[in-house]
Amino acid sequence: MPFSLSKDTWYSHEDALLQAHTEVVQVELEKNSWEARKLAMIEQGVSAGDEDTVINIPVSFDGTWSRRGYTANHGIIGFVISAATGKVLDYEVISKVCNTCIQKKSSLNEHEFEQWAENHTCRGSFGGSSASMEMESVKRLWGKSQDYSIQYKFLISDGDSKSYSAIWNYYGACDTCNQYESLESTSEEYKIWKASEDYVKWENEHLDGSVDCDRVIKLDCIGHVQKRLGKALYEFQRTALKLENGKPVKGRQG
């Protein structure tokens, strides 16, 4: 029989590899964040020596699950990616269970486990629902952004508003934003405002940065817009009657 490692030896090697991997990843993430910040400074005309100035940058966010749906106990890994460089800037792991804790509980007595747990960063302590993990991950990621003197000001998303609703005012917002974002999008007051010239002015000022407001601006990914528009057109083509000129929606003679 070939020589085999004991469980404790195996786990110690795993811990060492994880520690080394985590350190290397952290160095790369810091480099990526400073690179994205430097590009934004050049674009915005900010002096390179101004290291303490918080710079607004565009990013995309998404999460990946250990299984489909909202039933995963092992949770989600959320990623923030720079729109300028395409590189990962940060990530967050959220889970309801921690395999390391489970392993240690089975191999240590209660006193030993308590001593070990004092220095353990547990990733399985989330007490919310599985569906709320993504919103929690995006809040934690936005909370760490200013460690690198950047703000994730522009969020390129897939149309899902759950994550955006958790961080749209994370850095603060103007009075107009606070007034109308608190309304239901289906309410009459919100619909009237969105159809007004004031809304057009508000949107333009926030997109070009001419207004004093730190809210996160949501931008839809063109690929997801194309997908939703295509689906809507297909459904219209499938269900619509003939046009006024007697032709079908396809444009050919019926």
Residue 47 lies in a domain: yes
More confident residue, 249 or 199: 199
Averaged over 198-226, what is the pLDDT? Answer: 82
User: Which of 52, 51, 60 has the alpha carbon at shortest distance from 84?
Assistant: 60
Kindly report the pTM of this predicted structure: 0.76
Range of the domain at 55: 1-156
DSSP-derived letter for residue 61 is E
126 belongs to a structural domain: yes
Stretch 93-121: mean pLDDT, rounded? Answer: 83
Looking at the structure of the chain, the number of domains it has is 1
| Residue 212 in domain | no
Alpha-carbon distances, residue 156 vs 60, 129, 177, 215, 239 (angstroms): 5, 25, 19, 14, 32
**DSSP state, residue 216:** P
Backbone angles phi, psi at 56, to 5 degrees: -85, 130
Which residue intervals of 81-132 are DSSP H helices? 99-107, 110-117
Beta bridge partners of 164: none
> Does residue 189 fall inside a structural domain?
no
Q: Is residue 4 part of a domain?
A: yes
3-51: pLDDT as tens digits: 677 877 887 888 899 889 999 999 999 999 999 999 999 988 888 777 7
Residue with tokens 């020596």: 49
- Give the highest mean pLDDT range of 79-88, 211-220, 230-239: 79-88
In a domain, 217, yes or no: no
Task: Assess if residue 112 is contained within a domain.
Answer: yes
Using one digit for the tens of pLDDT, what is the confidence trace for 135-162? Answer: 888 999 999 998 989 999 999 876 666 7
Residue 254 has pLDDT above 50, yes or no: no
Query: Is 242 part of a structural domain of the chain?
Result: no
